[in-house]
Amino acid sequence: MRNQGLSPDNVIKVNIWATEEIDWSYMDAEWEKLFGKLYPSMTIVYVTALGLPELKIEIEIWAAKN
């Protein structure tokens, strides 16, 4: 994002697809480091598989310049 002149403040939506249970304690701690207390909108979906068998999680970030 940085090379596009964007920061976490520009993130408006995050989509997460995971094949295994997410460690929410870890995820929440990392999320707070990145976004502080004001998180962007987020969708989480558990799926049986992703595009490559070695992938366990896919994170898609939508951001917009002000």
CB atoms within 10 A of CB 11: 19
Number of residues assigned to the chain: 66
- Nearest Cα neighbor of 1 from 24, 30, 35, 27 is 35
Domain with 59 in it: what CATH number?
3.30.1330.40
Residue 6 pLDDT = 92
What is the pTM for the complete model shown? 0.84
Residue 10 pLDDT = 93
**Which structural domain range is residue 31 located in?**
2-63
Number of domains comprising the chain: 1
pLDDT beneath 50: ranges in the chain: none
Residue 16 pLDDT = 97
Residue 35 pLDDT = 92
Q: Tell me how far apart the alpha carbons of residues 18 and 9 are, in angstroms, rounded to a whole number.
A: 24
